[in-house]
Amino acid sequence: MINRPFQTLRRMAVVALLGLVVGLISAVATIGFVELVAFLNRLLYVSEATRATLEPRELALVTIGVLTLGGLAVGLMLRYGAGTGAPAGPADTIFAVQLHERLPPPIAGVTSTIAAMVSLGCGASVGQYGPLVYLGTLVGQLVNRVDLGIRDIRNIAIAGGVAAAISAAFNAPIAALIFAHEVILRHYSLRMFAAVTVASASGYLVANVIFDHPPLFLIESVGDFRGVEFFLFGIEGIACGLLAVIYMRWLHLSSRLADRLPLPAPVKPMLAGFVVALVALQIPEVLGASQALLREVPGGELGATALLLILIAKILVTGLCIGFGFHGGVIFPAFLIGVLFGSLFGMLVPPALLETHSGIAVYALCGMVALMSPVLGSPMTSLLIVFEFTRNYEITIAAMVTIVFANLIAYNWYGRSYYDRQLAERGIDLSQGRVRAYLIHHKVVDHVMQSLPVVRNSDSLEQLRERLGAMATASAVVVDDAGRYQGMAFQQQLLTRADAASVGELGLRRDLEFDEQTSIWEAMEVMRGFIGEAIAVVDSDSGLYLGAVPEAAVIDAYLEATHELRREEHAS
């Protein structure tokens, strides 16, 4: 027999090794993804350097051609490669992890990743970190196929893959660790924390030691902070919260507009690409992920009018690209929109009120994380990103103020995050907790039993008495000759009836029944005042009787779900 200390050491070694392997693979895949996008940007004349080599007429033709044909390519890939016509993203990861559901097949994940690469490569205004979250998920999903004898290995591998991808992309391993727990897992357990920590650290080492990945955002100099500025940071946070609500609502509105268009699905991103190309000919800063703009804006090279114009254009074309079928993330555009707004705010407001202030770059950074945080639904991750970017305590406190006010505004006017709203549209509400969401998602039809006798309405009461006696029950299900549910018959109804009468002559009770969409949570609510043996489950379309659910089966399902989730949260 294997002793307990040896089992503990083995489990620790396996968890650490799992985090290391997943972290290394995810980080390399992430860097490869980013580099391939950069290569496509150069090849397809999306980058600023290559666009400068073209004449104006050539530039217009190339821009329109690349974005239009790129949109068509993405639409065809998602329609015929992903299978569902919709790309896999972070919401799918949260859905699978929280509700213990299957992820889309690997081919769908690979197709979605390639579609995101093409979208970014041809200059669509989408982000690259949403796809990287799912890329980390895909790595974790593949590693999960190896039997290591560890419970919850799939969720551990997925969280580790996501953390490593974010760590490598942002150069922020602590923020990536918290992101995986705050957004994906939504709980902390020692076993998962250990594996995700190793994976996140591995991603950071790969990005910085092997590939020397440059920081995403740099602040070289900061002016003196004044106490009154924290009031301004609060105002900026409120404004960023409002802007985040506008941005997220526009993303949903654009998607609904696309759904109403009577066009084939692959043509919609093609149409969006054409419109974005026309905008990009006037405002080239909207093309692609616009990473170069992150480093230009805080320096004050652009004036207020240019900042405002780029800000409005970036919001509009990002919503158009996401809503009409280009695949990519919504976080990095939020980053950029926040930087643009923060720079504009820092350029106009503090100089009008103060002789000296901390500088435009600080307001730009605060705007970046304040607008990103409500979209992502992860205030702690956003705060840690600031600290890891700057290593500056005062800037981190300033960002904390903006993040708090932005989240308060966005939460009350929109919800926790863009991903949570996507899940809510699928009928998954995580705002009331993991247990309730899990019980609402899982249906009582999965727990039906044949615990009640079934008779036809044409059967005699004598046959009904025999069925009740044979199964030792006081109630029976009545169906017609086609198996459609007619109601419930009870033993006490037989006391004054002749045996020759038919079951259909009884006053069948049909005041309480479930269907295939009734959740365990709804069943628990209904059964709080229920007195009886079981409740019938009936197909809502055909009316066919599917089985019965005893109260004990519902209680068992509830206890099993809560026990499994609690065990996962407290496992070591």
Task: Give the position of tokens 């970014």.
Answer: 120
229-260 vs 331-353: helix axis angle to the nearest 10?
140
**pLDDT tens profile 498-546:** 666 787 777 788 878 888 888 888 888 888 777 778 888 899 888 888 8
Find tokens 């998954």 and name the residue: 428
Region 265-286: what's the mean pLDDT?
A: 93
Identify the pLDDT of residue 87.
63
The residue from 210, 238, 272 where one domain ends is 210
- 179 and 141 together in one domain: yes
Q: 444 and 403 in one domain? A: no
Decide if 61 is inside a domain: yes
Please indicate, yes or no, if residue 528 is contained in any of the structural domains. yes
Please report whether residue 20 resides in a domain. yes
Residue 82 has pLDDT above 70, yes or no: no
Domain count, the chain: 3
Q: Using alpha carbons only, what angle is made at residue 208 by residues 203 and 214, rounded to the nearest 5 degrees? A: 115
- pLDDT > 90? residue 182: no
d(C-alpha 490, C-alpha 509), whole Å: 9
| Contact indicator for 31, 211 with CB cutoff of 8 Å | yes
* pLDDT surpasses 70 at 300: no
Residue ending a domain, choose from 175, 210, 245: 210
pLDDT at position 340 is 93
Instruction: Please provide the average confidence, as pLDDT, over all residues in the chain.
Output: 84
| 132's tokens | 């990287």
* Alpha-carbon span 95 to 93, nearest angstrom: 5
| pLDDT tops 80 at residue 361 | yes
Higher pLDDT, 137 or 229: 229
Residue 217 lies in a domain: no
Range of the domain at 33: 11-210
Least confident piece of the model among 275-284, 338-347, 356-365: 356-365
Domain final residue, candidates 380, 399, 426: 426
Q: What is the pLDDT of residues 547-568, one digit of tens each?
A: 888 888 888 888 887 887 777 7
Greatest mean pLDDT range, 15-24, 276-285, 300-309, 512-521: 276-285
- The pLDDT value recorded for residue 355 is 75
Q: Are residues 98 and 181 in the same domain?
A: yes
User: Does residue 219 form part of some domain?
Assistant: no
Global pTM? 0.85
Assigned domain for 2 exists: no
Q: Residue 459: what residue type?
A: D
Nearest residue to 195 via CA among 458, 419, 425, 11:
11
Residues 188 and 302 in one domain: no
Could you tell me if 280 and 333 lie in one domain? yes
Determine how β-strand 454-456 pairs with β-strand 514-515.
unpaired
Position 301 in a domain: yes
Q: Supply the pLDDT for residue 220.
A: 58
458 and 400 in a common domain? no
Q: Report the pLDDT value the prediction gives residue 251, as an integer from 0 to 100.
A: 94
pLDDT beyond 80 at 283: yes
Q: Kindly state whether residue 194 falls inside one of the protein's structural domains.
A: yes
Domain identity same for 299 and 260: yes
Backbone φ, ψ for residue 475 (5° rounding): -145, 155
Q: What is the pLDDT of residue 149?
A: 64
- Are 94 and 201 members of one domain? yes
Co-location of 234 and 375 in the same domain: yes
496: domain CATH number is 3.10.580.10
Same domain, 154 and 257: no
Identify the CATH number of the domain in which residue 372 sits: 1.10.3080.10
Q: Are both 314 and 359 inside the same structural domain?
A: yes
Assess whether 416 and 443 both reside in one domain: no
**Helices 4-43 and 153-170: angle between axes, nearest 10 degrees:** 40
